């Protein structure tokens, strides 16, 4: 089979690989579409986040690995001791490894598992014709949801988990810092959750144009004082979602929320950031953070099927697997007009 394999920073090769064999409790998926995530970009450009050196305790795999954790497809083979999943079924994958027996898993917080990991970062992933996953990762995809939309269920789950984890109430006002794919999907999710106004802050006009199409009020913080403009227009922000992960946006998020407000950190922040806790103290505001998602894929799939989340708007390009490096991993770093690039794998 053909696969995009990570060997090191700036070293992803599209090559032929043998298909993995299905073991007990596993399912083989014929991949149709897979999305390029920020985690894939970090892995490609900086060598960050990939299982190197030793095998992951649950996947039993290590680099070189096939990238890709946002994908949909068709069940090609079902292993022993798997029920409720049939060959030929349209599915989407929730790519989180979890042990099921640690205290976090036993309390239902499997995204906090002590052996937490991702398909495509800690095992072979979806940038391939076929991928083998654990049966507990497989969710049925209704006919109303296309394979392209299915590939967006995972990043949408990240955004909706943050919104659901937040203190947002219907009618409140929100700002999203960072109009990349997760920020754009957070705009959609906040609006679906009942936010009356959603501001999007970024330094790239191309990204802000996408945010505006999704119903956000765009603010370019390289051209205006975003905090002053938003406070003047909104009268105060209830929840700030930090999806950029840099010091200026963290500072703005803390300063912009009202008394009793909340800052929700979604971004994977590479370098430690400072937080002005005196501002939080005098406003009795809170800062929280979210990791991936849990118990949310069925709801995301249902919302997309019902038309309540039009995630197709975030797709800006579709490419072939052979072109994933130049037209995907490289392009996303240089061309800010793109949000979600999908890789078409099935045919």
What secondary structure, in 3-state letters, does the chain show?
CEEEEEEECCEEEEEECCCCCCCCCEEEEEEEEEECCHHHHHHHHHCCCCCCCCCCCCCCCCCCEECCCEEEEEEEEECCCCCCCCCCCEEEECCEECCCCCHHHHCCCHHHCCCCEECCCCCCCCCECEEEEEHHHEEECCCCCCHHHHCCHHHHHHHHHHHHHCCCCCCCEEEEECCCHHHHHHHHHHHHCCCCEEEEEECCHHHHHHHHHCCCEEEECCCCCHHHHHHHHHCCEEEEEECCCCHHHHHHHHHHEEEEEEEEECCCCCCCCCCCHHHHHHHCCEEEECCCCCCCHHHHHHHHHCCCCCHHHHEEEEEEHHHCHHHHHHHHHHCCCCCEEEEECCC
Cβ atoms of residues 59 and 117 within 8 Å: yes
Ramachandran quadrant class, 106 (left: phi over 0; alpha: psi -120 to 50; beta: rest)? alpha
What number is the average pLDDT over the span 30-43? Answer: 96
Cβ atoms of residues 261 and 237 within 8 Å: yes
> What would the two tokens of residue 90 be?
């349209």
In residues, how long is the chain?
A: 347
| pLDDT > 90? residue 43 | yes
Cβ atoms of residues 252 and 177 within 8 Å: yes
pTM, two decimal places: 0.97
Cβ atoms of residues 3 and 127 within 8 Å: yes
Q: What is the pLDDT of residues 52-69, one digit of tens each?
A: 999 999 999 999 999 999
Give Cβ neighbours of residue 145 (< 8 Å, ≥ 6 apart): 301, 304, 305
What are the backbone angles phi and psi of residue 64, rounded to the nearest 5°?
A: -75, 140
- pLDDT for 2 equals 97
> What would the two tokens of residue 55 be?
């095998």
* CA–CA gap between residue 320 and residue 318 (Å, rounded): 7
- pLDDT for 83 equals 96
Domains and CATH numbers, the chain: 2-141+310-344 (3.90.180.10), 156-289 (3.40.50.720)
Please report which confidence band the pLDDT of residue 268 belongs to, taking 50, 70 and 90 as the band edges. confident
Q: What is the pLDDT of residues 128-170, one digit of tens each?
A: 999 999 999 999 999 999 999 999 999 999 999 999 999 999 9
- pLDDT for 269 equals 85
- pLDDT for 53 equals 93
Q: What is the pLDDT of residues 191-245, one digit of tens each?
A: 999 999 999 999 999 999 999 999 999 999 999 999 999 999 999 999 999 999 9
* CA–CA gap between residue 58 and residue 123 (Å, rounded): 9
| pLDDT > 90? residue 190 | yes
Please report which confidence band the pLDDT of residue 41 belongs to, taking 50, 70 and 90 as the band edges. very high
| pLDDT > 90? residue 271 | no
* CA–CA gap between residue 27 and residue 87 (Å, rounded): 9
* CA–CA gap between residue 53 and residue 205 (Å, rounded): 41
Q: What angle do CA 339, 345, 347 make, to 5 degrees?
A: 130
Q: What is the pLDDT of residues 301-312, one digit of tens each?
A: 999 999 999 999
What number is the average pLDDT over the span 88-96? Answer: 98
Spell out the long-range contacts of 53-56 with Cβ–Cβ below 8 A and sequence spacing 24 or more: 56/97, 56/115, 56/117, 56/122, 56/123
Give the whole-number percent of the chain exceeding pLDDT 70: 100
């Amino acid at each position: 089979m053909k696969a995009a394999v990570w060997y090191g920073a700036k070293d992803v090769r599209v090559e032929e690989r043998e298909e993995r064999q299905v073991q007990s409790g596993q399912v083989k998926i014929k991949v149709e579409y897979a999305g390029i995530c920020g985690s894939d970009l970090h892995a490609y450009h900086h060598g960050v986040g990939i299982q190197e050196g030793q095998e992951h305790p649950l996947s039993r795999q290590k680099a070189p690995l096939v990238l890709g954790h946002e994908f949909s497809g068709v069940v090609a083979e079902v292993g022993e001791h798997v029920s409720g999943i049939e060959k030929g079924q349209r599915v989407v994958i929730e790519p989180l490894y979890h042990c099921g027996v640690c205290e976090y898993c036993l309390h239902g917080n499997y995204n906090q598992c002590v052996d937490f990991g991702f398909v495509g970062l800690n095992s072979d992933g979806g940038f391939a014709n076929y991928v083998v996953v654990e049966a507990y990762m497989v969710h049925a995809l209704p006919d109303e949801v296309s394979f392209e939309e299915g590939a967006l269920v995972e990043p949408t789950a990240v955004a909706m988990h943050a919104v659901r984890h937040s203190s947002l109430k219907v009618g409140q006002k929100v700002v999203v810092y960072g109009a990349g794919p997760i920020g754009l999907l957070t705009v959609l999710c906040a609006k679906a959750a009942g936010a009356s106004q959603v501001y999007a802050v970024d330094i790239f006009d191309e990204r802000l144009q996408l945010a505006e199409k999704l119903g956000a009020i765009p603010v370019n913080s390289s051209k205006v004082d975003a905090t002053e403009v938003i406070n003047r227009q909104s009268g105060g922000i209830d929840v700030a979602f930090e999806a950029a992960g840099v010091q200026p946006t963290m500072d703005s998020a803390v300063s912009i929320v009202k008394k009793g407000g909340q800052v929700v950190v979604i971004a994977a922040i590479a370098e430690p950031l400072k937080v002005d806790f005196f501002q939080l103290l005098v406003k009795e505001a809170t800062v929280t953070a979210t990791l991936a998602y849990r118990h949310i894929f069925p709801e995301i799939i249902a919302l997309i099927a019902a038309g309540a989340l039009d995630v197709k708007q975030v797709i800006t390009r579709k490419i072939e697997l052979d072109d994933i490096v130049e037209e995907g991993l490289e392009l996303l770093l240089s061309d800010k007009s793109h949000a979600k690039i999908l890789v078409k794998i099935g045919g």
